[in-house]
Structure 1
Amino acid sequence: MLRPPRRLFPPNRAAATGTGTGLDRRLLLSTPIFYANGPPHIGHLYSALLADALHRYRGLRGAGPGRLSTGTDEHGLKIQQAAAAAGTSPPELCERISGLFRQTLTQAAVSFTEFTRTSQPRHQRAVRRFWGALRDAGALYKGSYEGWYCTPEESFLPESQLAESRDAQGRLCKVSAESGHQVHWTKEENYMFRLSAFRDPLREWLRDNPRAVSPEPFYQRVLLWLEEDLPDLSVSRERSRLPWGIPVPGDPTQTIYVWVDALVNYLSAVGYPEEHGGWWPAAHHVVGKDILRFHAVYWPALLMAAGLAPPQRVLVHSHWTVRGQKMSKSLGNVVDPVGCMGRYTVDGFRYFLLRQGVPERDCDYYHEKVVKVVNSELADALGGLLNRSTAPSINPSNTFPPFSQSCFPKVSDYRETGGRGRASAEDYELLVSVASLPLRVATYFEGFQIYKALECIALCVRQTNSFFQRHQPWKLNRQDPSEKLWLDTILHVTLECLRVYGTLLQPVVPHTADKLLSRLAVQPQERGLSGLVFLPRYHGEPCPFEGRGLGEDSGLLFHRLEKAKHQWVGSREL
């Protein structure tokens, strides 16, 4: 009989909580593996970009070895049905759709290190070993099961998760309250997982690790679920009905439940069952809210039963709507991410999704919003500032100009000299904002609030534009020594601000950030976060960039997007 452990691991274990010291701490960041029954849409891309930005940011911090895993989920009844509808075989369908996902993520500059396909032999071997661990622990039993089954969600749903609706013929039917998909009464003999035995261990895990599920509203949702009945979970299907999947070891009449199969990808990505020990449980799963139950209830319980710790964190995001409507093939409003990247550029669309996406609530996509956000913040504010501050007319030597402490004294010196410098009170406020920006950005990335990090950066960019506009350096006379000192100081402060922004934006808009930093002649080894120091000359310290020749002028940092009218054609917005 299964006896769940009272405590699987100490709540503050360094590998699980990320509180260990040193730069060799490992971390697996993951997207869900995407279901290969149709091409990618912007919701898939959003999941991947969130994970990618976290992965890139961690690399800039020099925080130790990291992996970013993604891939495709290629088994289950939906794949069978989609292949039959397309007049092809499941393997052929999965090969094509998996290729589309890999191509889209690569085009979007998602820096994945592992791409798992559940049809791969190494993954299937990991699933069989994981099943064996569950079986050997006494966590599985065979029994007759009946209930409401949702094919699109590949799961049985309790009455508490159902609602009434009408089908296409107007007849009353039951649907999933979460997704609206119709459910059907199904009865069959399956293997069952003793999920009911893990309610207390799951509660204990969450109590000991309040950041295990983020943001907070989703953490509270999981706690509420654990207050309800937690029935045992059907973890296999009759193979006569579902031949497309991994057979249950030792029982060829049964196929392993697609969600058990899919969740094990996080282990197979790090070499389970032989090599995972160096990585697990230091894993952060980025998932959509529709699959929260699978990742925050079923997956931790399965891991506990197999003798493994739950993942360190489950980071949850909400959905994207299109002009206020849920994306749907029937409505013809499914947004093609490849088309969007072609229209708005890769960095432009990356920036929009990460700037406007708020994990706690659903977010809305429409063309005019993308154009407004990208033009105002990337093309005008950031790009305009770089172009104005490096223009030959204002910086004919094409160098990083020197800083004058007499023009811009430290606050204490400013007071002692009666404010005889050229800087204003607003200028000192700018310095405070930019100096604190890296720490604020770090806090927001750690809290899975990338949109707030970008909001802070955008605010500082606006402050810097105001600083530049306020002092009108283009009106200063370079032939006057005192005015030249002030002109150079204005440019020095502006370029230092831009250097900070370019460094911090690398995880979000890697190409644009590289172009900006290259223009400022910031070398690759100077682009990390650990050594990022803002305006050292203000504090009397040497600045390695002062006097350095600027990089090649490659034109506009970011071209403005056109406000062209759009139309829907099939599942693509053009």
Structure 2
Amino acid sequence: MKFSTLRLISSKNFYISTPIFYVNSQPHIGHLYTALLADAFSRWKQIKKESVVFSTGTDEHGYKIQKKAAQENLKCLNFCDKISSQFKSLFDRSNIKYSDYIRTTQSRHKTAVIKFWKTLDSKGFIYKSSYSGWYSVNDECFLRNDEVEEKLDSNGNKVKVSMESGHVVEFTSESNYMFRLSEFKSRLRNYLSNEVIIPKIYLENLYNQIDNLEDLSVSRESSRLFWGIPVPSDESQIIYVWLDALVNYLTVAGYPDKNKMAETWPADVHVIGKDILRFHAIYWPAFLMAAGLSPPKKILCHGHWLVDNRKMSKSIGNVVDPFQILQKYNTDAVRYYLLREGVPGSDCNLNLENFSKFINVELANTLGNLYQRCVPFNKELIYPLYQDVKSELTHSDIHLIDGLNNLRHKCDEHFEVFNFYLGIQEIMSILRLTNSLVQEYKPWELVKSQKESDKKRIRKMLFLIYESLRISAIVLQPMVPDLCQDLLERLNVNTDHRFFDDAIVNQHDNQLKYLKNKTTVLFRRL
């Protein structure tokens, strides 16, 4: 889809982001799903003619990176370059149309982080103190005593682990800078009460965490951690990796340039996985409030992907490599499956045995075959006009037209809260209804007739099918952009007429239209 012809409806950009992905290991299918949710939402906003800033990228500081780089005998930056390029390659291969790919090792980001730290410090929200507590290296997270439990490791030894993630924690005692997080309990509660979290099922746990908030350590001793951004005026300390990482959203918005910020901030929605909700819904809004900035308007939180109903694990050997899936299937098929099967409010299950069957039923059969069925009955490639068929419309025809006219609004209702799977169900329902209409019309019999009434019946059927395909293709663009572009080009739909306002039955054209002469299969079965 081409977006150069957008007519902007607002002076402020709609700002959507993924988290910046941690480069301690290569990307997996969950990372791709997060990016697809944001990409599909970004595309939908652009179909509604909104100007969008869509950011993604990689988080490249912290002890885990330092440790991994040493294990591979690489300099930290070289290690980050390698893994970050894999994420970028995955997103490009998956047709993720981001407008900014940010890395925390970029100089623009370092400038933003230092300015943000100085702002928090000047407003009195940072102080130095001795800190003792549990720290999860894997999660890059400080934990309270009631968030830690004792378990036996694989060797039968007692270890302390995070109750939330299950990762081993270590007791840390050191001199750190602290952030006055405990002062923000009431403000965070008020903030979250404004329907910020989508879906709401994650809200109660956040309230429980807010009740127990303590001040947060926001630095580590550089003797332990050197791979990060030093605290201004105190290079013996490195800024906490999560404070560093979260500022990326401001970096993209042009912080600290107030003029650039006005075009984009506050962020409209952060798209994240449920494992990092605490950082985005508690730490991040508190940091922003302390700095005198508005917190994000919405946070979309989604579940994890399971494989055959089991959590992905290297030890089990069921980690799914998204590059292998993209190589085996085509890009649109992978996009469609993940957005069709993914339900943000729960964990999702990836069953590769059902992948082809699922794609073939809806994309190849329900959508693709509907287009192909017209080919034998439209040798002249005519796209009939409404005024030529309106006098012949039956109750069934009008029922389909009403459904088509309501489809964009039904999709909008679902897409605006990231329930792409429900919008897809609405689209497929319309396409199945159109397919049933073909069975009712029996064009294979009508084409043998020389009666003018039967010829009109075929033209009416073609009008209804092409309008169903056109409107469905417009609202399906966020999920399967390449397939929809191909279909809309076959239907000879101008690129300026592929937007939300165009997804309605066309009753006003007076000039006869023709289809492009392209009879190859629209979507090949997998």
Q: TM-score surpassing 0.5?
A: yes
TM-score (norm 2): 0.95
Question: 1:130 and 1:465 mapped to 2: Cα distance?
Answer: 57
What is the aligned counterpart of 2:38 among 51, 56, 65?
51
- 8 A Cα contact 2:181 2:214, kept in partner: yes
Q: C-alpha root-mean-square deviation of aligned residues, in Å?
A: 1.6
Instruction: Tell me the CA shift for residue 371 of structure 1.
Output: 1.2
Matched with 2:516 is 551
Determine helix, strand or coil for the equivalent of 1:33. Answer: strand
Aligned amino acid, residue 87 of structure 2 = F
Q: Deviations over 1:507-526 (max 9, x none)?
A: 11110000110110001111
**Bigger mean CA deviation after superposition, 158-167 or 508-517:** 158-167
SS of the equivalent of 1:31 reads strand
Which of 212, 215, 219 lines up with 1:232 in the alignment? 215
Residue identity opposite 1:474 in structure 2: W
1:314 to 299, 315, 328: 299
Which residue does 2:26 correspond to in 1? 39
**Pairwise CA distance, 1:555:** 1.2
Corresponding residue number in structure 2 for 1:522:
493
CA displacement at 1:408 relative to structure 2 = 5.4
Runs of 4+ off more than 4 Å: none
- Identify the residue that residue 16 of structure 1 maps to in structure 2: none
Question: Which SS does the other structure have where 1:34 is aligned?
Answer: strand
Percent of aligned positions that are identical: 43
Counterpart of 2:3 in structure 1 is none
d(CA) in 1 for partners of 2:146, 2:343: 28
> TM-score under structure 1 normalisation?
0.87
297-306 or 153-162, larger mean C-alpha shift: 153-162
Q: 1:535 to 1:473 in 2, by over 3 A?
A: farther
Distance 1:166 1:145 in 2: 27
Structure 2: distance between partners of 1:300 and 1:259: 13
Supply the distance in 2 between the matched residues of 1:118 and 1:356 (Cα, whole angstroms): 32
Aligned AA (2:133): G
Please show how residues 240-259 of structure 1 align to structure 2 within 5 Å. Answer: 240-259=223-242
Which residue does 2:417 correspond to in 1? 447
- Paired letter, 2:202: F
Q: Which residue of 1 aligns with 2:256?
A: 273
CA contact (8 A) 1:148 1:186 kept: yes
Q: CA distance change for structure 1 residues 472 and 159 in 2, over 3 Å: closer, same or farther? A: farther
Pairing 1:505–2:505 present: no
Gaps of 5+ in 1: 1-20, 410-420, 537-541, 562-574
| Residue correspondence of structure 1 range 562-573 to structure 2 within 5 A | none
Work out whether 1:182 is the aligned partner of 2:174: no
Query: Which residue, 285, 291, 301 being the options, matches 1:300?
Result: 285
The residue number in structure 1 matching 2:5 is: none
1:97 corresponds to which of 83, 104, 116: 83
Deviations 1:271-317 (A, max 9, x none): 11012232111431000000000000000000000110101111111
SS at match of 1:164: strand
Cα shift readout 1:184-223 (whole Å, capped 9, x = no counterpart): 111111111000000111112123x22x111111233323
- How do 1:464-503 and structure 2 match up within 5 A? 464-477=434-447, 479-503=450-474
Q: How does 1:114-263 map to 2 (within 5 A)?
A: 114-207=100-193, 209-210=194-195, 212-226=196-210, 228-263=211-246
Structure 2 CA distance, aligned partners of 1:471 and 1:190? 76
SS of the residue corresponding to residue 38 of structure 2 reads: helix
For 1:418, the equivalent position in structure 2 comes to none
CA distance in 2: counterparts of 1:463 and 1:159, whole angstroms: 58
- 1:147 deviates by 1.1
Check the 8 A contact 1:403/1:488 in 2, yes or no.
no
Give the C-alpha shift of residue 148 in structure 1.
Answer: 1.3
- Alignment correspondent of 1:463: 433
Residue 316 of structure 2 aligns with which residue? 331
Which residue identity does 2:310 align to in structure 1? Q
Partner of 1:433: 403
The SS at the match of 2:373 is helix
Gapped regions of structure 2 (runs ≥ 5) = 1-7
Residue pair 2:267, 2:297 contacting (<8 A) in 1 also:
yes
Would the aligned equivalents of 2:492 and 2:516 in 1 still touch at CA under 8 Å?
A: yes
- Give 1:22 deviation, angstroms: 4.0
Instruction: Assess if the C-alpha contact under 8 Å between 2:267 and 2:295 holds in 1.
Output: no
Alignment check: 8 A CA contact 2:405 2:503 kept: no
Tell me, what secondary structure is at the counterpart of 1:557? coil
Alpha-carbon distance in 2 for matches of 1:403, 1:247: 67
How far is the alpha carbon of 1:535 from its aligned partner? 4.2
Q: Is the 8 A contact 1:29 1:286 kept in 2?
A: yes
Deviates more, 1:513-522 or 1:474-483: 474-483
3-state SS of paired residue (2:156): coil
Q: SS state of the match for residue 168, structure 1?
A: coil
Aligned equivalents of 2:146 and 2:396: distance in 1?
57
**AA at the equivalent of 2:41:** L
> What is the one-letter code of the residue matched to 1:472?
K
Partner-residue secondary structure (3-state), 1:50: helix
Counterpart check, 1:77 vs 2:63:
yes
Task: Give secondary structure in 2 for the equivalent of 1:145.
Answer: strand
- When residues 554 and 292 of structure 1 are mapped into structure 2, their CA distance, relative to the original with a 3 A threshold, is farther
Select which of 16, 19, 30 maps to 1:29.
16
* 1-structure distance, mates of 2:103, 2:387: 58
